[in-house]
Amino acid sequence: MTKFAQQVLAVVSAIPIGQVSTYKIVADLSGYPRSARAVGLVLKKNKFHFLSNGRKKIPCHRVIKSNGQIGGFSLGFEKKKQLLHFEGLIIKNNRINNFEQKLYYK
DNA sequence: AGTAAGGCGGGCA
DNA sequence: GTGCCCGCCTTAC
């Protein structure tokens, strides 16, 4: 695993339930401000996603696009929406309601 | 080692 | 609101 990937996973795993972050923010907090796109790749590729791992739970579903849209998900778009909704977020037209107020920055 | 493509972002029309 | 284009970093082949 690359340093970059480790940083990304560390940041993402710190996002609290009920909050979300964006690929941009994660990239920023990881110390690679222009790697938003690469962040998506790491999340897609990592084996420790929220559902199938008991210890390292990486809540990749809490990472969305900077415009409030959901973005992609390796386990499927619907699954991501479902998980977010389950954590109390309201989703309408593939977009999070008031996501600005639920953003995790640090 | 080269190249293409990806869970993206920002700027501008 | 839409769409297009260019830049970005990493992975896959």
- A34 C-beta less than 7 Å away from strand C: yes
**Å from the A27 CA to the B9 C1':** 11
- Residue spans per domain, chain A: 3-101
Show the low-confidence residues of chain A (pLDDT under 50). none
Exposure string over A54-66, b if 16+ CB within 10 A, otherwise e: eeeebbbbbbbbe
d(CA A35, C1' C12) / Å:
18
pLDDT confidence of residue A52: 57
Mean pLDDT over the full length of chain A: 90
Structure tokens at A17: 């339930």
Mapped to the 3 state alphabet, what secondary structure does chain A carry? Answer: CCHHHHHHHHHHHCCCCCCEEEHHHHHHHHCCCCCHHHHHHHHHHCCCECCCCCCCCECHHHEECCCCECCCCCCCHHHHHHHHHHCCCCEECCEECCHHHHECCC
What pLDDT score was predicted for residue A46?
A: 82
Instruction: Find the nucleotide nearest A44 (Cα to C1′).
Output: B7
pLDDT score, position A9:
92
What CATH code would you report for A3-101? Answer: 1.10.10.10
Q: What is the pLDDT of residue A1?
A: 81
In the prediction, which pLDDT does A38 show?
94
